[in-house]
């Protein structure tokens, strides 16, 4: 029961991330960099407190994959944050949950897995759902751009899921810690090239929300996640992970007054239903389909 409570808490934390991001007055790249730094420092401190020491040999063996996947996570955050800026949290979150569909599409080539008729049906249903969301009753181009950014974020996270399948002899906690550090390292020269190293847009409100984003939505959330899944079945994790998008829609409606049209709701159900079925078919995936 404690494991379920921790996982539910984690999903509710992830579900609230969009509300905080919308109130941070700096660029998405700066936000992603600070999130990586603060989150990795939190997890590093936690690992020192619990006296957890990863194998240097395993880190060296997986160094390239860890660096590439960490960079993909950093870019994934940038596009997700941009998605929040250009469209509603509901649209961004549901678009982001397209990640397992991308995994299903790429799995036959990357993992040599068979694309069954049921999986093809899931992909088609998700595509129809996406069409219903992208065309929400004639709304403006900003929503289309925001959904596009959400899909880019989903594609990057799908690449992380696939790369993680090839990382050996490291726990999920260890992989995440190194990937967060790698994300910050990869993003540092990028924001320097953009001329954003001054973080000039930071104000008192943004500083508070950035700390919450790094400590609560990243460090604490990932720690709770990895300490909860040890006691739960993979099928339970898959089901409870859908508290994230559902809570995101509810929180956005309460705090930002965002609403979804009937067609968007149907589209969201098609996408989330397809990803849920894909998870039921692929229970060997040990991580959640999407972690914002």
Q: Where exactly are the structural domains of the chain?
A: 2-281
pLDDT value of residue 285: 44
Pure H helices in the chain? 2-15, 17-21, 28-49, 56-61, 63-86, 89-96, 99-110, 117-134, 141-164, 172-194, 204-214, 221-228, 234-240, 243-256, 262-281
SS3 98: coil
Torsion angle of C-alpha atoms 231, 237, 240, 242, degrees rounded to 10: 160
CA distance 75 to 93: 16
pLDDT value of residue 200: 73
CA distance 171 to 6: 19
Q: Please, what are the averages of pLDDT over each run of 10 residues along the chain (292 residues)?
A: 88 95 91 95 90 86 95 95 93 92 88 83 91 63 87 95 91 91 91 74 88 96 87 79 91 88 89 82 50 77
CA distance 7 to 224: 7
Backbone angles phi, psi at 135, to 5 degrees: -115, 65
DSSP 26: S
Q: At what angle do helices 89-96 and 141-164 cross, to 10 degrees?
A: 30
CA distance 171 to 176: 9
CA distance 82 to 96: 12
CA distance 61 to 55: 10
pLDDT tens for each residue of 127-179: 999 888 875 544 555 888 999 999 999 999 999 989 998 999 998 889 999 99
Q: Which of 43, 42, 22, 4 is nearest to 93 (CA)?
A: 22
pTM: 0.90
What number of other Cβ atoms are within 10 A of residue 5's Cβ? 11
CA distance 91 to 149: 11
Give me the sign of the Cα torsion angle 229, 235, 236, 238: positive
Q: Which of 197, 191, 243, 169 is nearest to 7 (CA)?
A: 243
Q: Which of 219, 234, 276 is nearest to 3 (CA)?
A: 234
CA distance 287 to 10: 13
């Amino acid at each position: 029961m404690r494991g379920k409570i921790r996982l539910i808490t984690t999903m509710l934390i992830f579900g609230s991330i969009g509300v905080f991001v919308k109130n941070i007055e700096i660029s998405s790249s700066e936000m992603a960099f600070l999130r990586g730094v603060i989150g990795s420092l939190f997890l590093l401190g936690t690992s020192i407190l619990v006296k957890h020491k990863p194998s240097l040999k395993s880190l060296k063996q997986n160094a390239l994959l860890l660096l590439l996947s960490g960079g993909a996570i950093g870019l994934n955050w940038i596009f997700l944050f941009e998605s929040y800026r250009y469209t509603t949290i509901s649209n961004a979150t549901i678009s982001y949950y397209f990640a397992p569909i991308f995994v299903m599409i790429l799995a036959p080539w990357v993992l040599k897995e068979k694309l069954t008729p049921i999986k093809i049906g899931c992909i088609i249903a998700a595509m129809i759902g996406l069409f219903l969301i992208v065309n929400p009753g004639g709304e403006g181009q900003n929503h289309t751009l925001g959904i596009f950014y959400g899909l880019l974020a989903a594609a990057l996270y799908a690449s992380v899921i696939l790369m993680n399948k090839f990382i050996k002899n490291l726990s999920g906690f260890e992989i995440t810690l190194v990937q967060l550090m790698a994300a910050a390292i990869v993003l540092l020269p990028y924001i320097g090239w953009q001329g954003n190293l001054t973080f000039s847009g930071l104000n008192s409100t943004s500083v508070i929300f950035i700390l919450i984003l790094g400590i609560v939505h990243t460090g604490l959330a990932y720690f709770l996640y990895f300490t909860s899944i040890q006691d739960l079945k993979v099928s339970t994790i898959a089901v409870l992970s859908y508290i994230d998008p559902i809570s995101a829609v509810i929180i956005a409606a309460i705090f930002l007054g965002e609403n979804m049209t009937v067609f968007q709701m149907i589209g969201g159900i098609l996408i989330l239903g397809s990803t849920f079925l894909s998870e039921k078919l692929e229970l060997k995936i040990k991580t959640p389909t999407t972690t914002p």
